[in-house]
Amino acid sequence: MRLSSVFSWATGAAFLLALPTTMAAERVPVVTSFSILADMVENVGGEHVEVTPLIGADSDAHSYSPSPGDVRTLSHARLVVFNGLHFEGWMARLLETSGYNGTLVTATDGITPLMNHGHDHAAQHEHGEHHGHGHDGHDGHDGHDHGTADPHAWQDMARARTYVTNIRDGLITADSDHATDYRANAKRYLDKLASADADIRQLLSNVPTETAVITGHDSFGYFAEAYGLRFLAPEGLATTADPSAARMAELVDVIKQQRIQALFHENMTSPVAITQLAEETGLSVAGTLYADALAREGEAASYIGMMRHNAKVLHKALHETLADD
């Protein structure tokens, strides 16, 4: 074999070996504030994105504090996606510190938020007084204040469609070369959301609207409105403070007086308060729900899977309880 042929073969082989690395380097670096948004971005971005959530699976966004590593991560991103509605009170400072100047998507843009869970008086507790996440950490006594808006809008799959379209548009802005793919991926994902939403509505349609359950913190207001359930919680919209003795006593009374069917742990909050309520009332803990974070593995490791899991666990607990009545 001639030397020039050997050289050409070796050069070609080296190029092929380096190709995956080259292709990986061309993927758009996207940073999301938490795991649910990361899954949405991956579904819309597909092979063109490399997604890094600042807050991973089974982790609590309410107690999160950015690290120097997060500053570096943001400084290399081309797109940053966060929830908004005061959910990430640390985001403005983190963006400023990192010097980030790329595309920024507020996933809840265009969504009309629920205000104070006004449909259920028993769920109105300490929403803006002591809990939550403010924009700059200075509008609440502990640096965390939701104000009066409930930020957990992803818990309604109809509102989640707005998340997806905002993410699609952000990806197109950051990487217009793959706009056609982002539009196609978003359409497929939106169809999956609609199908899952319809399935959940059908599954929960036979649960009487007066039934209620208790979860670790007050994050299921949108789920309650969308699917006709009532949720109560020992804590407010955030998880940064333990529920007061008065609040616990109030919930014990509510359990005894109203149609409270089940208690549920959450994957990213302390089980102590729910376990205490179970001990004091004799009501069983019927399972684990996923509110602000995906699971590390299993069905709830994706957003759609998480929503399906929650619906099935709720239906099973409420169906069995009602059947026993």
Residue 313 structure tokens? 């666990």
Q: Helix (H, G, I), strand (E, B), or coil: what is residue 144?
A: coil
Q: How far apart are CA 182 and CA 41, in angstroms?
A: 10
pLDDT of residue 121: 33
What residue ranges of the chain have pLDDT lower than 70?
A: 1-25, 116-147, 216-217, 234-243, 259, 267-271, 320-325
User: pTM, whole model, 2 decimals?
Assistant: 0.79
- In tens, the pLDDT along 66-86 reads 999 999 999 999 999 999 999
Give the pLDDT score at 118.
40
Residues near 57 by beta carbon (within 8 Å), at least 6 away in sequence: 35, 293, 294, 295, 296, 301
Question: Tell me, what's the pLDDT at 72?
Answer: 95
Report whether 153 contacts 85 (CB < 8 A): yes
Q: State residue 287's pLDDT score.
A: 85
| Beta partners for residue 52, in sequence order | 31
Q: Which two tokens stand for residue 166?
A: 């905002």
Cβ count within 10 A of residue 146 = 29
pLDDT the model gives residue 13: 46
pLDDT at 160: 98
Displacement of CA 229 from its chain's centroid (Å)? 19
SS3 content of the chain, % helix, strand, coil (to 5): 50, 15, 35
Residue 273 has a pLDDT of 75
The pLDDT, as a whole number, for residue 257 is 75
What whole-number distance in Å separates Cα of residue 203 and Cα of residue 318?
11
Q: Report the chain's terminal Cα–Cα distance, integer Å.
A: 86
Task: Please name the residue ranges forming H helices in the chain.
Answer: 3-25, 35-45, 68-75, 91-98, 157-174, 179-204, 221-227, 245-257, 272-281, 303-324
